[in-house]
A and B are shown apart, each in its own frame.
Chain A
Amino acid sequence: MSARDDIFANIRRSLGVKGSDTIRRQMVTERLERAPKGVIPERGQVSGDERIALFKTMVETSLATVTEVASPAEVPQSIALFLRNHNLPATLRMGDDPRLRAMPWSETALEIAHGPSEGNDLNAVSHAFGGIAESGTLAMVSGPENPSTLNFLPDNHIIVVSAKDIARDYESVWNRVRFAYGKGGMPRTVNWITGPSRSGDIEQTLLLGAHGPRRLHVVVVRD
Chain B
Amino acid sequence: MTVHTTSPQFKKNAAQALGDAQLQKALGNVKQGFIDKRVKAAEKLPEFEALRDSARDIKDHTLRHLDLYLETYEDKVKASGGHVHFARNAEEARSIILGICREAGARTVTKGKSMISEEIGINHHLEAHGIVPVETDLGEYIIQLRNELPSHIIAPAVHLNATQVEQDFRRVHTHLDAKRDLSEPVQLLTEARAVLRERFLAADVGITGANFLVAETGTSVIVTNEGNGDLTQILPKTHIVLASIEKLVPTLEDVSQILRVLARSATGQELSVYTTFSTGPRRPGDADGPENYHVVILDNGRSSMLGTSFEEMLRCIRCGACMNHCPVYHAVGGHAYGWVYPGPMGAVLTPTLIGVDKAGHLPNASTFCGRCESVCPVRIPLPKLMRHWREREFERHLSPATVRSGIKTWGFFAKRPALYRLATRAAMGALGLAGRGKGRFAWLPLAKGWTKYRDFPAPQGETFQARWRRERKGRAA
A78 within 8 Å of B (CB atoms): no
Q: Are B306 and A201 in contact (CB under 8 A)?
A: no
Knowing A8-B67, A14-B303, A202-B138 touch, does A211 contact B193 (C-beta < 8 A)?
yes
B467 within 8 Å of A (CB atoms): no
Q: Are B271 and A7 in contact (CB under 8 A)?
A: no
Cβ distance B287 to chain A, nearest Cβ, rounded Å: 4
Q: Are A188 and B280 in contact (CB under 8 A)?
A: yes
Q: Are A201 and B156 in contact (CB under 8 A)?
A: yes
CA distance A4 to B70 in the complex (A): 10
Q: Are A203 and B161 in contact (CB under 8 A)?
A: yes
CA distance A11 to B86 in the complex (A): 13
Cβ distance A122 to chain B, nearest Cβ, rounded Å: 13
CA distance A39 to B260 in the complex (A): 10
> B293-332 CB contact bits vs A (8 Å, 1 = yes)?
0000101000111111000000000000000000000000
Q: Are A36 and B217 in contact (CB under 8 A)?
A: no
Binds A, one of B9-17, B219-227, B451-459: B219-227
B450 within 8 Å of A (CB atoms): no
CA distance A188 to B234 in the complex (A): 11
CA distance A135 to B275 in the complex (A): 12
A102 within 8 Å of B (CB atoms): no
B230 within 8 Å of A (CB atoms): yes
> A135-150 CB contact bits vs B (8 Å, 1 = yes)?
1110000111001110
28 A–B contact pairs at CB < 8 A?
A: A7-B303, A8-B67, A11-B66, A14-B306, A15-B64, A28-B250, A35-B254, A37-B253, A38-B58, A135-B270, A135-B271, A143-B285, A143-B287, A144-B287, A152-B234, A170-B256, A171-B253, A184-B76, A185-B217, A186-B218, A191-B230, A199-B138, A203-B161, A204-B29, A204-B33, A209-B189, A210-B138, A212-B274
A residues lining the B interface (CB < 8 Å):
2-4, 6-8, 10-12, 14-17, 21, 24-25, 27-28, 31-32, 35-43, 58, 61-62, 95-96, 115-116, 118-119, 135-137, 142-144, 147-149, 151-153, 169-171, 174, 177, 184-205, 207, 209-213
**Known pairs A186-B279, A199-B226 / 16 extra A-B pairs, C-beta < 8 Å:** A7-B88, A11-B245, A14-B305, A31-B61, A144-B285, A152-B231, A174-B256, A184-B76, A188-B280, A188-B282, A188-B286, A188-B289, A192-B277, A201-B137, A201-B142, A210-B227
